Amino acid sequence: MEQGRAEGFDGFVAARWSTLFHLACLLVGGDRHRAEDLLQEAMVKLWFAWPRIGEEAPEPYVRKVLARAAARSARRRWWGERPVEQLPDRAEVDDVSAAVAERTRLESALAQLPSAQRAAVVLRYYQDLPDRQVAEALGCPVGTARSHASRGVARLRRILGDVIEPVG
């Protein structure tokens, strides 16, 4: 029985790691090291819950753990600048594609959102989850999840300077 549990868990992790890692990166504002820690924490919790939920819906469980852990860690610690041994060269790079630049701009803007708004925006629009599942992952009512997402998108528009004219 333990062998089947390990195989199912290993298969899920192998199949979904990169997608879940990208989600974790977005939830923590682009800090890859923090995202790795967050995802590892979520996988440990999933391992212990695997007998209960492994066959049913492990991905929603992991999303919920990630969203809640990201919110907790944002309240718990300061994740600002970190000292480095040597400053990077500031070479002009003109071969970076517009898509990479735009994605970096968006990730930077996401990092400026409060954790609840960032989680709601990422789960709703990046993961394309319905409002009900976003609310379940955040552990709040559907109306609160919608409010977080709406305020997050509005703030992203201000940060990014995108003025969208209403239709009609």
CB neighbour class for 142 (10 Å; exposed up to 12, middle 13-18, buried from 19): middle
- pLDDT one-digit tens code per residue, 1-58: 466 666 788 888 898 898 999 988 888 888 788 888 889 988 999 888 888 887 788 8
Q: Is the pTM of the predicted complex or chain greater than 0.85?
A: no
Q: Where are the alpha helices (DSSP H) in the chain?
A: 2-27, 32-53, 58-76, 98-111, 115-121, 131-138, 142-160
> pLDDT for 79-135, tens place per residue?
556 667 777 776 555 555 777 778 888 888 888 999 889 999 999 988 888 999 999
Interior/surface letters 154-167, b for 16+ CB within 10 angstroms, e for the rest: ebbeebeeeeeeee
Q: Domain 2-77+97-160: give its CATH code.
A: 1.20.140.160
Q: Could you state, in order of their start, the residue ranges of all structural domains in the chain?
A: 2-77+97-160
Q: How many residues does the chain have?
A: 168
